[in-house]
Structure 1
Amino acid sequence: MDYTTTNGTAEKLRTQALIVGIYEDEGLSPSAQRIDKASEGYLSKLISQGDFSGKIERNLLLFALPGIKAERVMLMGCGEKNKFESKKLRHGWSTIIKVLEECGATDVVACLLELKPKHEDISQWARLMTETAEHASYYYDQTKSKKKALKYPLSQINFLLEQRTQQSAVARGIQWGQAIAKGVSLARDLANLPGNICTPTYLADTASKMAKEYKSLTVKILDREDMEKLGMGALLAVARGSQQSPKFICLEYKGTSSKQQPIVLIGKGITFDSGGISIKPAASMDEMKYDMSGGASVLGTIKACAELKLSLNVVALVPCTENLPDGNATKPGDIVTSLSGQTIEILNTDAEGRLILCDALTYSKHYHPKIVIDVATLTGACVIALGAHASGLLSNDQDLANSLLSTGQMSNDPVWQLPLWEDYQQQLKSNFADMANVGGREAGTITAACFLSRFAEDFSWAHLDIAGTAWNSGKDKGATGRPVPLLTQYLIQYAQAGVVPKNK
């Protein structure tokens, strides 16, 4: 879709559809008031008769209103005015987009910037509207024989400005939103593909194609032989049961010619996780194709950086393999030596994500990173603790954690911090190696991060557990693309300020 800004008054705009907000308690938004006046109280009558309440996520499509130039007027319920904020905008606007796609309007004007609370930034409001529109119109059909084809696809969204002086800020927000949306779509596409297509080699090929598409990107792919020479014993232990060759993706974004230390993003790339010898239950095992969502999200974030041409350096590291059982697979009780030289007793082969990530954390030292953030669908315990609303956050740097917490709220991609206390490290003790790869049932998300922290002592590091947020189950099954919005917003702020502002 194309996005632009427009000026004028709502009742005089010629468009196929005009979207205005209606509050549940205080009635009409400014543009809705203009439409109501021009149509001789049409909207007020609808509300007084109980035909439209203004409740959140409710909408009503009206045709040929008297005195109005627009062909259609779409009323968007906003709920209570003093409670209307960006999250509710996202829900309501997403519903509107889906209705517009079916009604035949291809060119629309949205009078929704005027709904912004005073404390919200207009650029962020425009970014969220753009990103949400793209997210709502996303459709996966790569592996379907019949492709979805709308007769009249929505192709142009115009944001009505309250003041002409807002134009540059809104245009900047649109640019951010489009870039984030492209990164999110890439992450969703990769994660939604089945494991027989999206193999470690497929992910590596995707990174290579990205490097050809953007001049700011360079790629290096490590094969099994390269990993053996380096001594990535933890990663290779996971790969032993698969016939697919493991890959280690190193995708660098160079946004500045200076010798600025890069931010390293590490994404878990388990393209299918059966649990290995510690095999998972059969129910919902198909969803383990999503176990590479961390890897998909960091590739999507790099794409967004390249689209925006951000002035900073970023490295994406994606260790990729399947985790399957066969006669050569790693067994519970086996001991391996990681790239760091530390030994690990593998008590549970289904705790494989931390094994590939620990070698990636050690490898990240090649880049002398300023900050390292790893992203992984790591623990079922995180789903139990936080559900599908917030990703888990653990860090050895509170300033970094504060920045991610703040950015999560701004991007509508929230995280919640869990403790990383020394007390939890005791659960990883082993009688036979430097550490065990699991710490028991209690505090599973925290002990997984404690394990990773032992490989991140030399730099500022944060761990994002996205097990509950990376995909939806049930009738809406599919990848979400999170946390691409969070990571990209973090990098935008970092590039703008040189250092991300701390949480107030």
Structure 2
Amino acid sequence: MSLSFQLVLTAPASLETPLLALVLPADATLTDALAPLDAPLHGALARTLARRDFRGGRDETVLLVGGDAGVQRLLLVGRGSTPLTRTTARRAAAIAARQAAKLGMGTMHLWLPDADAAAIEGLVVGAAAGSWSYPDLQTPPPEKDRRARLTQVGVIGADLPGLQGALNAGVAIAEGQAIAKRLGQMPGNYCTPQTFVDLGQEIAQRHGMTLTVLGRAEMAAAQMGSFLCVAQGTSQEPRLVALEHRGGPADQQPIVLIGKGLCFDTGGISIKPAPEMEWMKFDMMGAAGVMGAMEAIGRLQLPVNVVGIIGSTTNMPSGEAVKPGDVVRASNGKTIEIINTDAEGRLVLADLLVYAKQFNPAVAIDAATLTGAIVIGLGHHAVGVFGPDRAVVDEVLAAGSAAGEPGWPLPMWEEYREQIKSDVADIKNTGGRAAGSITAALFLQEFVDGYPWVHLDVAGTAYSQSDLGWIPKGPTGTPVGTFVEFVRARAGR
């Protein structure tokens, strides 16, 4: 992430800045705190508020232009009438950062009057989200048409305990989300299974983590037939990558985070329709979320043990590809009838869930862009949350809410299990269209043994095919926030 942040204790009216973004609630008035900003604007701020040219609605913006010194531009950003939270602060800051980018501002200051530590953290995460981009593969425009990229943000706060820590925490989360988003935005010929190995090595070295990498031979020795059948059709080496953050006592059971990493998903022999197949480069956002979370956890130096496990390959049709009707055996001995080769993510996760058992997890949470059915059921606003233990599910839901990645629980009733019974094997990999997300979760549960577990279906939330206003189309950063907030809560932070 090329954006740097600084906590600024200077009075806003005393700043020398090309742009001050002022975040205000609905129906704001000119308070004593705001009045010093109005003098150099010759009353423009007071008139704007009095005339209700700016009403403070969510995502509303108005730009007031000042002189050549001091606050040269004042951007009013509305956060709406909802209570101030880390999430509302995040969204407003993202809007501000997007406007700064349009203006070509290399530097910006953010001010949310009376911001507490949670709001400061939200401002940092939001500004990073709003300014994020992936220009790596684009030819720069001519020099005369270029605009400066936002590289510095000063977050204005009071001289209160905890605000610097909140800013640092926001930076850690933003860095993790930037990693996840960059992995997601990379085309499938740039983001390969080896990319996760290289990144894992960087994160391990940066934060003193232990790294384990398995390739095709090692997975075959471990009898991971479920994972490996997905990789049959590709010449690329499949990879299982495990990162261990040992911040807690040696005998503490770790939290295990697990991610599906299909760098590209054609559907295999059950090939997907051609229109919009290019979006399947995002089928690795579960794994990207794990890698981003491990980066943030390392930066936060959380005093808890965490293991991040990802399984990465591509799902390709070829003469060697697994085909409908084949039966494969997972590493726990269960046999699986392949009904649809496009239901491949659960096949990768099956062996990852078995692999996780060796760490004796306190809890395991997996995330995957697993089913189109979750998009039909919940749209693009909620993560599908599944698990047999309601107390742990509630923990995950609380973490998602705190992170601004809300989830919704769905049932895992025994009646649905009938749909994944096989005539020739122990289980089949899809139960058809009805309740597709639920039967996928029940399939995964077959490979969970002896530890609490929650499954997150992020197919509708990990990326967006349209501009969301506060962030552009593409990767959203979900589920990095949920993972980090869950670990922070378990660590008492």
Is the Cα–Cα contact under 8 Å of residues 471 and 479 in structure 1 kept in the other structure? Answer: yes
TM-superposed deviation, 1:124 = 2.0
- Picking from 113, 121, 124, the partner of 2:118 is 124
Taking the aligned partners of 1:249 and 1:491, their CA distance within structure 2 comes to: 20
TM-superposed deviation, 1:301 = 0.7
TM-superposed deviation, 1:94 = 1.5
Alpha-carbon distance change, 299 to 176 in structure 1, aligned in 2, over 3 angstroms: same
Is the Cα–Cα contact under 8 Å of residues 421 and 427 in structure 2 kept in the other structure? Answer: yes
AA paired with 2:127? A
The answer to whether residue 89 in structure 2 is matched with residue 89 in structure 1 is yes
TM-superposed deviation, 1:37 = 6.8
Alpha-carbon distance change, 74 to 274 in structure 1, aligned in 2, over 3 angstroms: same
Paired residue secondary structure (2:284): helix
Larger mean CA deviation between 426-435 and 36-45 belongs to 36-45
- Picking from 110, 114, 127, the partner of 1:133 is 127
Alpha-carbon distance change, 262 to 113 in structure 1, aligned in 2, over 3 angstroms: farther
Mapping 1:35-434, distance limit 5 Å: 35-36=37-38, 41-49=43-51, 51-64=53-66, 69-80=70-81, 85-103=85-103, 105-114=105-114, 122-146=116-140, 152-162=148-158, 164=159, 166=160, 168-214=161-207, 216-434=208-426
Is the Cα–Cα contact under 8 Å of residues 210 and 245 in structure 2 kept in the other structure? Answer: yes
Is the Cα–Cα contact under 8 Å of residues 392 and 464 in structure 1 kept in the other structure? Answer: yes
Alpha-carbon distance change, 201 to 154 in structure 1, aligned in 2, over 3 angstroms: closer
TM-superposed deviation, 1:172 = 1.5
Alpha-carbon distance change, 342 to 474 in structure 1, aligned in 2, over 3 angstroms: same
TM-superposed deviation, 1:26 = 4.3
Taking the aligned partners of 1:160 and 1:293, their CA distance within structure 2 comes to: 33
Is the Cα–Cα contact under 8 Å of residues 7 and 167 in structure 2 kept in the other structure? Answer: no
Structure 2 match to 1:20: 22
Taking the aligned partners of 1:211 and 1:84, their CA distance within structure 2 comes to: 36
Structure 1 match to 2:492: 496
Sequence identity, in percent? 36
Uncovered stretches (5+) of structure 1, i.e. residues with no partner: 117-121, 498-504
Taking the aligned partners of 1:431 and 1:454, their CA distance within structure 2 comes to: 17
Alpha-carbon distance change, 336 to 471 in structure 1, aligned in 2, over 3 angstroms: same
What CA deviation, in whole Å up to 9, does each residue of 1:448-499 have, x standing for no partner?
Answer: 00011111141000000010111111464421221101111211222226xx
Is the Cα–Cα contact under 8 Å of residues 180 and 304 in structure 1 kept in the other structure? Answer: yes
Is the Cα–Cα contact under 8 Å of residues 20 and 31 in structure 1 kept in the other structure? Answer: no
Is the Cα–Cα contact under 8 Å of residues 362 and 455 in structure 1 kept in the other structure? Answer: yes
Alpha-carbon distance change, 200 to 157 in structure 1, aligned in 2, over 3 angstroms: closer
What CA deviation, in whole Å up to 9, does each residue of 1:236-280 have, x standing for no partner?
Answer: 111111111211112212223522111111110111111111111
Mapping 1:446-485, distance limit 5 Å: 446-474=438-466, 476-485=472-481
Taking the aligned partners of 1:451 and 1:463, their CA distance within structure 2 comes to: 11
TM-superposed deviation, 1:340 = 0.6
Larger mean CA deviation between 455-464 and 50-59 belongs to 50-59
What CA deviation, in whole Å up to 9, does each residue of 1:108-139 have, x standing for no partner?
Answer: 4322042x5xxxxx222111110111111111
AA paired with 1:136? G
Taking the aligned partners of 1:54 and 1:259, their CA distance within structure 2 comes to: 51
Alpha-carbon distance change, 182 to 30 in structure 1, aligned in 2, over 3 angstroms: farther
* TM-score of the two chains, using structure 2 as the length reference: 0.92
Taking the aligned partners of 1:288 and 1:363, their CA distance within structure 2 comes to: 26
What CA deviation, in whole Å up to 9, does each residue of 1:384-438 have, x standing for no partner?
Answer: 1111111111012212111111111111111111111112111111111111111
Taking the aligned partners of 2:254 and 2:132, their CA distance within structure 1 comes to: 32
AA paired with 1:194? P
- Picking from 3, 6, 9, the partner of 2:8 is 6
- Picking from 18, 32, 35, the partner of 2:34 is 32
Uncovered stretches (5+) of structure 2, i.e. residues with no partner: none
TM-superposed deviation, 1:61 = 2.0
* TM-score of the two chains, using structure 1 as the length reference: 0.90
Structure 2 match to 1:501: none
Is the Cα–Cα contact under 8 Å of residues 254 and 314 in structure 1 kept in the other structure? Answer: yes
Alpha-carbon distance change, 436 to 29 in structure 1, aligned in 2, over 3 angstroms: farther
